[in-house]
Amino acid sequence: DTAVSQTPKYLVTQMGNDKSIKCEQNLGHDTMYWYKQDSKKFLKIMFSYNNKELIINETVPNRFSPKSPDKAHLNLHINSLELGDSAVYFCASSQAGSPLHFGNGTRLTVT
């Protein structure tokens, strides 16, 4: 039983393309997140949704658009991909005040 699952695991695409990453959690958590781990291995928060409402929106280019159709799903759509978008993207979920549970990441490579 995978608690937080994200697809795809690997994504290789060319500059300028549009791509999506999907995330689902079966923990019943109210809050979901997207984190980016760049080449320096720094885990940086991008977005957070609580009960389908956007509550955290860090300084992220507006080419990145999260969408939460329900509280168990949080997808990330990226328009006009750039080389600098290459990173590992982690989805996570939590209940208020409790630890984050992470998915296994999506390694995005933009060529």
Partner 1 sequence: DQQVKQNSPSLSVQEGRISILNCDYTNSMFDYFLWYKKYPAEGPTFLISISSIKDKNEDGRFTVFLNKSAKHLSLHIVPSQPGDSAVYFCAASDRTYKYIFGTGTRLKVLA
Between 30 and 69, how does the x/- string for binding to partner 1 read (CB under 8 A)?
Answer: -x-x-x----xxxxxx--x-x----xx-------------
Q: Which residues in 12-31 contact partner 1 (CB under 8 A)?
A: 31
Distance in Å, CB of 28 to partner 1, minimum:
17
Q: How many residues does the chain have?
A: 111
| Residue 49 CB, nearest approach to partner 1 (Å) | 9
Q: List beta partners, residue 87.
A: 108
Min CB(7)–partner 1 separation in Å? 13
Whether omega before 61 lies within 30 degrees of 0, making that bond cis, reads no
Which of 7, 72, 86, 105 lies at the binding interface for partner 1 (CB under 8 A)?
105
- Of the candidate spans 19-27, 60-68, 69-77, 93-101, the one that interacts with partner 1 by CB under 8 A turns out to be 93-101
Three-state secondary structure along the chain?
A: CCCEEEECCEEEECCCCCEEEEEEECCCCCEEEEEEECCCCCEEEEEEEECCEEEEECCCCCCEEEEEEECCEEEEEECCCCHHHCEEEEEEEECCCCCCEECCCEEEEEC
> Which residues of this chain interact with partner 1, rule CB under 8 A?
4, 31, 33, 35, 40-45, 48, 50, 55-56, 90, 92, 94, 96-97, 99-105
